[in-house]
Chains A and B, each alone.
Chain A
Amino acid sequence: MTAIAIGRQEIRAYTDVELIANAIKGREDGFEELVRRYQKQITGYVYRIVGDYDSSLDVTQEVFIKVYNSLHRYSSDYKFSTWLYRIAHNAAIDHLRRNSINPQSLETENEDGTYQLQIESPAPSPEKDREVSEWRTEIGQVIKRLPDAYKQLILLRHANDLSYDEIAEVTGLPLGTVKNRLFRAREMMRQIMLERGFGGI
């Protein structure tokens, strides 16, 4: 085994906090390993929010540059991944605001703190009890059409497996709001699926 290969193996065993310490000391491979570790998750999250592949690559790059420039401000009170998601979340939302051409950016919060779908749902299909694979495709479409405030929480929870506490930290929302919105978002999705003839799940 070559020396470089051993080095790589070693650095893979480092914790996030050790890698950050290395990066601050000026070791470039510390930051590189952090990027390697999280780039897919972050690009995936940003892509689902932004909805465009090229933009999601740009935003992800912007996120990691921001992280690099503020590594010395990172506090190990939080998990590094939570901190990273928060930066990615804000960057994705900023991107949406800068390019607000989709009608969902016009969404407004109702008086009781709920959100509505802004796009008309297609007419429900008469067929019942569809195949599971079809259900999966359909649920993907429903997530895309959720109000942004709900979509972000659904993705953080179910695509990225963050806990309620971590989601609250990432989005800056109170824990109670996270819990309540996740519930409402899922109820909304379940209702839409029922209306579209996807019962039984």
Chain B
Amino acid sequence: MISIRRRAVARAGALALVAVVSVAWGQGSTVDEIAKYRQALQDGNPAELWEARGEDMWKQPRGPRKVSFERCDLGLGPGVVKGAYAELPRYFADADRVMDLETRLVYCMVTQQGYSDADARKSPFGNGNERKSDIEALVAYVTSQSRGVKMNVSLDHPRMKEMYALGENMFYFRGGTHDFACATCHGEDNKRIRLQDLPNLTTREGAQKAYTTWPAYRVSQGELRTFQWRLYDCFRQQRFPELVFTSDASIALTTFLARNANGAAFDAPAIKR
């Protein structure tokens, strides 16, 4: 564990250097340079720090009842982490709700570990500095255990089918001062904002490429970001009010995108600009 941490810290330093070099490189080849930079970091990603912390948290007794997550059922049975993320979101009969990973973690923290609902969800995202999020670490660990597993989200349950339909509908929901919907930026091939390439999430290929590379360590923020964060920050830029952590809309959109990614091998935690 300590060696993993040292390695990751050393690489985070190297990373900052590479980032500066690639900015200095100039305009024409920016996309190529980013691709090279990702390649250079492929076998070392500061996300490992979050994964290691999350693994500790998963296995250690926590909360007022001092129990670990090893009785938490992510859909494949109590404590089974391997491959679980590739089948989420899913309908959980015990909660009578469709849940994504973050929602399920909160559920286990409340029902098994004895946290209050407010305590379980009070820090969904780290602030880029000293305040780190337990949820982000747990998500890093759990998702890392699906690396290489093919996405396989089932819509067999009617509640999943409904969540997917709601998510698809919300993807096209225009609102706010700017009339933006998810589809405004993610509905066509080969578009970009400034120099940032935008995935077309309405195609299978686009959804697969995007969904299987979250969560990700964001170099510009020094944090590991979850899919809940990705949606939260997209909506911020859409000029919408604040997306509530683990809200039904967040789960519906996640269901829509995760299902569209079916068949692709999950490949995260990744690293992004």
Q: Do A and B come from one complex?
A: no
